[in-house]
Amino acid sequence: MSGKVTLRDIANEVGLSPTSVSLVLNDRPCKVSAANKQRIKEVARRKRYVPNQIARSLVMQRTNTLGLIVPNIESRFFSSLASSLERRCREHGYALFITNSESTESDSELVRLLMNRGVDGLFIVVSDELTTDAGLVGALTQLPVPFVMVDRVVEGVAGDRVRFNNEEGGHRATEYLLDNGHECVACLVNKNSNTGRERMAGYERALRERGIEPDPALELQTDYYINDAFRASAALLDTEATAVFASSDNIALGLLKRLFSEGLHVPDDYSVVSYDNSAADTLFEPALTSIEQNVAELSDVAFEVMLERIADKDAAATPVERILEPKLVVKASVA
């Protein structure tokens, strides 16, 4: 048979209307007898009927597609998150549109793009947690479909949230360095993000618990990029620090690049604890002790929250927040 098989082709063979055939093949309630339902499905299989997804979406009032917005898709953490979430969606019959954002303005644009694609729900990792951009806040507030903020959140926006306990992660990293006898511990951190501030708060709490007052000169500002961390690490060499809490793997890469350029080594000259544990085995030598955020767990919980929200269909329901616990993975970068 040439050409695409249509509902009308099946209807003509079984002697029923295209509407009845559509209802049966979409498992919708109808008055078609069990015998005719079986005939319709047998003919559809024999003719190798492929449903028209657009038409099916109009009938079902859903597209079985979800959207994901992530910043910096080249980041191992975010690319792993996208891969894990896509797999989870596919296992449950959803297609995932993955988009890469570079700024708050891109966030807003991609929200509109995905809505125009008719997604049933939206996962978003915002580019800038501290944004007050009215366009993005307005776009999220007025979304007609469920959305879940993953890993990062925008304060003041009411929506479901799934993230890790960043403050506890910073605390565990610093506590481990202190437990190994380091009393002068520096912190390379992005103070311009809620995530970075929370991790630095954990760093400071661990110091104060040991009677050490945090020194602003040891809290070195850097963005989440290797080159930024490389530049920021230069100031480390003028301190008495013997250990460093690097608050992301990209930041740790920039730090190691700086140390290597100065002929210094880990852990002989500096002990280092990183964050994410997403690149420790493949990029670092020695393998870095790191705070692990389980990407599979993050994507699983985010997807579960999305499914619950889609099934609930109550737009006024109270947003939920799921906070996951990170763990310390001990390797070979601390003396």
Kindly give the confidence (pLDDT) of every residue in the chain, 335 residues in length, as a single tens digit, with 9 standing for 90 and above. Answer: 446 778 888 888 888 888 888 888 877 788 888 888 889 888 888 888 766 654 555 455 567 899 999 987 777 788 889 999 999 999 988 999 999 988 878 888 898 889 888 899 999 998 877 766 777 888 888 888 899 999 988 877 888 999 999 999 999 999 999 999 999 999 999 998 889 999 999 999 999 999 999 999 999 999 888 899 999 999 999 999 999 999 998 899 999 999 999 999 999 999 999 998 875 456 667 889 999 999 999 999 999 999 999 887 665 678 899 999 999 999 999 99
pLDDT digits (tens, 9 = 90+) for 232-251: 999 999 999 999 999 998 89
| Cis peptide, bond prior to residue 144, ω within 30 of zero | no
pLDDT digits (tens, 9 = 90+) for 139-174: 888 888 899 999 988 877 888 999 999 999 999 999
Distance CA 200, CA 215 (A): 12
Distance CA 57, CA 244 (A): 53
Q: Which of 187, 207, 182, 172 is nearest to 269 (CA)?
A: 182
Distance CA 102, CA 260 (A): 30
Q: What is the pTM of this model?
A: 0.77
Q: What are the tokens at 284? A: 């670092």
Alpha-carbon dihedral sign for residues 196, 292, 170, 323: positive
In single-letter form, the type of residue at position 100 comes to N
pLDDT score, position 326: 95
Domains and their CATH numbers in the chain: 7-60 (1.10.260.40), 65-158 (3.40.50.2300), 166-293 (3.40.50.2300)
Question: What one-character DSSP code corresponds to residue 14?
Answer: H
